[in-house]
Amino acid sequence: MKSPLKPALAAPLFVSLCIAGLASAQTAQTAPPAPQYPALPSETPAEFQAATSGFNYVKRTVMIPMRDGTRLNTVIIVPKGARNAPILMTRTPYDAASLTSHADSSDLETILTGYDNAADVIVEGGYIRVVQDVRGKYGSEGDYVMNRPLHGPLNPTPVDHSTDTWDTIEWLTKNVPETNGRVGIIGISYDGFLPLMALVNPHPALKVSVPMNPMVDGWMGDDWFHHGAFRQINMSYIQEQVVTRGNTAKWFSSNYDDYDMYMRAGSAGELGRQRGLQQSGFWRKVLEHPSYDAFWQQQAMDKILAKQPVTVPTLLVHSLWDAEDIYGPVAVYKAIKPNDKENKVFLSIGPWSHGGAIGDGSSLGALKFGGDTALHWRQEVLKPFLARYLKGDESVPAIPTVTAFETGTNKWRNLSAWPLASAKPVALRLVEGQKAVLGGAADKGYDEYVSDPGKPVPFRQRPIPPYGYDEAKGQSWPRWLADDQREASGRTDVATFVSDVLTAPVKIAGEPVANLVASTSGTDSDWVVKLIDVYPDQVGSQPAMGGYQLMVSGDIFRGRYREGYEVAKPLASNKALNYRFGLPTANHVFLPGHRIMVQVQSSWFPLYDRNPQTFVPNIFNAKPSDYKKATQRVYHSSFVELPLVEAASAASAAR
């Protein structure tokens, strides 16, 4: 029989046994199990070498170092057999790898055909194609800042998009043996903002800049605000673009109709809180800067570039129905053309949606243009521009200073200036009887409607599909500016003024300007003004266009900024006040048999956030109790100033 352990020794021995057992258990957990059967050889090669001998291009992916040591992911695509070829570059936050792999193909044009590539012109011209992720996005290192400002008060670091472009060009000209050392930069939207940044202290090898539909001033009239009204439809873009490096956090639709989703959230600030946007540094900046303060003014590219002459040949591209950046291209042209002593600044205006110049330009929604306007522009404007300035081929004639498509007549016009010197401001007056009279006299009356924030005017026919670019999913956002405006004209909360039937053409070329004299029973108000071409009741060649109301130009103004954009002030209730603001550029002919209409309303929802119509310091923080109905009056001393080029007298132009 075994002797029992002595009490003095039992505890230490027990602990020792436990430690030993624990060690044994840990060893058992970490030691690899004994193989139970022979392993099969892996079928995945250590490194796959693609068979590309039959391709008509060579693709390389490199990490280019910037002056601060940050490396930027860059895709270089060289046509097979290229020698002394120019480089055409795009810098992007939208994934260089996917932009250069539109399809799995051995053909260069096929892999490039997609967003942000004029693939046909690039391939025909034999250009070396370079696409680079900006710092902080996708394959690039570094920190991402939305529209990263230039070094200065808003950016204390020594690096910005201007220096990154300079450093990239420096590397490319020294490390791409097939190039002739000449570089151009092209892009759309954010990618169009970056060619503007490249013009600040440009690299000597930069020979061409093509900003297409560029982001220029996010507060005045591009992506984030228009005249102070917040474009809340872009909240989904903000989330997807800024909260992850690879755009992996996706915005979700909680309703089939976006109108319902935004209404139920209340304010844009509340919707942002519900979606967690406060985690984004850019969203916090938007909330903190609802007015046009130094934060926005110091980033405005038209103001930046106006300070010195542009030394690089630059082709600005504007779309007449651009749902994203309808302000920027023309604003930059107006800012830099006066300093252009060597005629290096050019402007193209086309009948497109955002980025439409690289697609099929034969139609836009219900509109038909009688030919592919985008193909015409690429072949007759972009192609010779690149050949002359990027290839250095002076035998190619210079393009006209301005190439502008004239809607209505559907003709391209080659012009020496924009706006036309012959365009004279003429008042289209909004008068008694809901009439719009060209060159008429004002009267003392007014038209009145009730604006109810609980039932805001939709910016397009409901149900409103989510913001996006996939037509297959019903995301027709890019072409909504060309939608029929008849639904709005039939609402009691929209004041509508229409001319008699025109008997002679009325041509405008330039920026219409809204001059409202209006009052509100509230202490704040939004004012939306739309200039519309009303088609004849019957159009034999296209029956669906009978009575169509085509918005030629339209925009919104937040009333609190009537006295100045920098500081918001409440409005005096029930007092007629003046509001003057520019509408987007138009190049249009109202044809005989058509009528001219102006619509005035106080909401454009959910494209823009609702004005509570009660003054609050920051509308992002508006509470449900702040949103109140208001009686709005549009006085008959109001008018829209048209940049009139040619028209018969008011008496003979309408009957």
Within a domain: 345: yes
Q: Is the same domain home to 68 and 123?
A: yes
Closest Cα to residue 160, out of 142, 184, 138? 142
634 and 564 assigned to the same domain: yes
Question: How much is the pLDDT for 636?
Answer: 97
Mean pLDDT, residues 4-13 taken together: 38
Q: Flag whether pLDDT at 376 surpasses 70.
A: yes
Residue 449 belongs to some domain of the structure: yes
**Mean pLDDT value across the chain:** 92
Q: In this structure, what DSSP letter does residue 7 have? A: H
Residues 290 and 329 placed together within one structural domain of the fold: no
Identify the CATH number of the domain in which residue 253 sits. Answer: 1.10.3020.10
Question: Does residue 548 sit within a domain?
Answer: yes
pTM: 0.91
Residues 92-128: pLDDT tens digits?
999 999 999 887 889 999 988 877 789 999 999 999 9
- Whether 49 maps to a domain, the answer reads no
pLDDT, residue 474, reads 65
The Cα–Cα gap between 399 and 565 comes to: 38
Residues 246 and 181 in one domain: no
3-state secondary structure 460-519: CCCCCCCCCCCHHHCCCHHHHHHCECHHHHCCCCCEEEECCCECCCEEEEECCEEEEEEE
What local confidence, expressed as pLDDT, does residue 652 receive? 37
CA triple 389-394-396, angle to 5 deg: 90
Higher pLDDT, 483 or 19: 483
pLDDT for position 647: 61
What is the distance of C-alpha 25 from the center of its chain? 61
Compute the C-alpha angle 30/32/37, nearest 5°: 160
Reported as a pLDDT band with limits 50, 70 and 90, residue 12 is very low
Q: Looking at the structure, do residues 356 and 267 belong to the same domain, yes or no?
A: no
- Let me know if 104 is exposed, middle or buried by CB neighbors in 10 A (0-12, 13-18, 19+): exposed
Is residue 460 domain-shared with residue 529, that is, in the same domain?
yes
Could you tell me if 213 and 359 lie in one domain?
yes
Q: What is the pLDDT of residue 467?
A: 85
Q: Which of 276, 294, 312 is the last residue of a domain?
A: 294
More confident residue, 649 or 282: 282
User: Is the per-residue pLDDT at 459 higher than 90?
Assistant: yes
Per-residue pLDDT tens digits for 171-197: 999 999 999 999 999 999 999 999 999
**The predicted structure's pLDDT at residue 51:** 86
Mean pLDDT of all residues in 607-617: 98
Positive or negative: CA dihedral 227, 228, 232, 235: positive
Q: Which residue has the higher pLDDT, 234 or 40?
A: 234
Predicted confidence band of residue 651 (pLDDT cuts 50, 70, 90): very low
Angle (deg, nearest 10), helices 235-242 and 281-288: 140
CA distance 305 to 162: 12
| Share above pLDDT 70 across residues of the chain, in percent, rounded to a whole number | 93
Q: Which residue has the higher pLDDT, 53 or 381?
A: 381
CB of 259 closer than 8 Å to CB of 458: yes
**Confidence tier at 31 by pLDDT (50, 70, 90):** confident
| Owning domain of residue 588 | 424-653
β-pairing, 345-350 with 314-319?
Answer: parallel
Identify the band that residue 52 occupies on the pLDDT scale cut at 50, 70 and 90.
confident
Could you tell me if 260 and 391 lie in one domain? no
| Residue 13 covered by a domain | no
Q: Would strands 549-558 and 506-510 be described as parallel, antiparallel, or unpaired? A: unpaired
Confidence at 79, pLDDT banded by 50, 70, 90: very high
- Gap between the terminal Cα atoms of the chain: 127
Q: Which amino acid is at 51?
A: A
Q: Which residues lie below 8 Å from residue 316, measured CB to CB, with a gap of 6+? A: 211, 214, 329, 330, 332, 333, 345, 346, 347, 348
pLDDT band at 23 (very low <50, low <70, confident <90, very high): very low
3-state secondary structure of 440: coil
Count: domains in the chain: 3
Given 234, 259, 294, the domain boundary residue is 294
For residue 305, the domain's CATH number is 3.40.50.1820
CB-CB neighbours of 617 under 10 Å:
11
Give me the count of residues in the chain: 655
Kindly tell me if the per-residue pLDDT of 10 is higher than 60: no
Residue 558 in any domain: the answer is: yes
Last residue of a domain, one of 415, 448, 470: 415
Q: What is the pLDDT of residues 620-644, one digit of tens each?
A: 999 999 999 999 999 999 999 999 9
Tokens coding 474: 């019903």
Q: Say yes or no: 209 and 331 in one domain.
A: yes
535 and 572 fall within a common domain: yes
pLDDT exceeds 90 at position 9: no
Instruction: Tell me if 16 is assigned to some domain.
Output: no
88 confidence band (pLDDT: 50, 70, 90): very high
CB 516 within 8 A of CB 638: yes
Contact (CB, 8 A) for 187 and 90: yes
| Same structural domain, 349 and 495 | no
> Mutual orientation of helices 190-197 and 161-175 as an angle, nearest 10°?
80
Residue 502 located in a structural domain: yes
Domain CATH for 502: 2.60.120.260
Same domain, 410 and 432: no
